[in-house]
Amino acid sequence: MAATLTGPPVAAYYCEPFSRNAAGPPLTLGTFATARILKALPRVELSRAVGRLCERPLPPTLSRLVTGAYCKAYRVDLADVEPAASPYPTFDAFFTRALREGARPVSPDVVVSPADGVLSATGPVDSGTRISVKGSFYDVGELIGDPTDARRYCGGSFAVIYLSPRDYHRVHSPVDGVMSRVRHVPGDLYPVNAIGERHVPQLLAKNKRVAIVVDTAGLGRVTVVMVGAMVVGRISVTGIADLASAQEDRELSPSPGVKRGDEIGIFHLGSTVVLFVEPQVTLCRPEGRIRYGQSLLAAS
């Protein structure tokens, strides 16, 4: 059962993934004006409204038109999608579509990608429990919602995966283990794009996010952070009861077992995944396109 977090929806604004330029995108009058407008917008309220619209039933003809136009605009490949009744009853049902069994082979390596998207950054967690993402430093404790737990990741490594509009938007366990805890970390709904990166300091740590903790037998603790962004949707967590509060930190007892590739969450239009592992293993795959189930330990 997929449990939906209550409170303001976690949402996504679609643009390009994080800039590879550590200094950020060039500052122009246009980007500055856009940033000022985005900061003035009622971002949470707008996200709620668009999220409700995406969940409204669609007449069959309109559903075909909307999903067809979306697939054409964003070059969505439906070849791997699980056969389902067509047309989709809502736009949200289309966006959260499942894949057919076997569409994503899972690597035998001990850590795999939790999502389809672009692997936009990897690197070490320093002794101060910080990471560097495209020139910006983030505190791991802020990102995962627990400064004490963050100390586990000193000397470990992280990976950032950006999900674009064309991608499959379910998130899967990167390791074998048990889901021991889920934290919902409150925040804003800034756009996760080049403008947001340039004009919103600590962007990933400011947005609402959900941290899913997986404890393993040999790798210690792994945390998968699902980061929301502006306009549309929410995050669902698979296999647990509904969370009662938007700020809840829940220990799961009994802790459900998961295998690499098992579904653990769903983005209802959104955004970015940040993965943390302890020093027992190093994430070292080159940046670029990636699918869930592919190794994060591969050198090429």
Instruction: Give the 3-state secondary structure of residue 219.
Output: coil
Active-site annotation holds for 199? no
H/E segment holding residue 194: helix 194-199
Which tokens belong to 201?
A: 């300091």
Backbone angles phi, psi at 222, to 5 degrees: -120, 135
Active-site annotation holds for 184? no
Residues in Cβ contact with 40 at an 8 Å cutoff, skipping those fewer than 6 apart: none
Instruction: Give the 3-state secondary structure of residue 185.
Output: strand
Residues in Cβ contact with 239 at an 8 Å cutoff, skipping those fewer than 6 apart: 1, 2, 3, 179, 256, 264
CA 167 to chain centre: 11
Q: What is the DSSP-derived secondary structure letter of residue 145?
A: T
State the residue for tokens 């009853």: 89
Active-site annotation holds for 249? no
From the candidates 47, 63, 92, 116, which is the catalytic residue? 116
CA 213 to chain centre: 14
**Alpha carbon distance 51, 163 (integer Å):** 18
Which tokens belong to 146?
A: 């627990």
Strands 157-162 vs 117-124: parallel, antiparallel or unpaired: antiparallel
From the candidates 172, 184, 199, 268, which is the catalytic residue? 172
**Sign of the Cα pseudo-torsion (252, 246, 191, 239, in order):** positive
Cβ proximity of 228 and 10 under 8 Å: yes
**Alpha carbon distance 173, 132 (integer Å):** 24
From the candidates 47, 173, 271, 295, which is the catalytic residue? 271
Bridge partners of residue 290, in order along the sequence: 117
Q: Enumerate the active-site residues.
A: 116, 172, 271
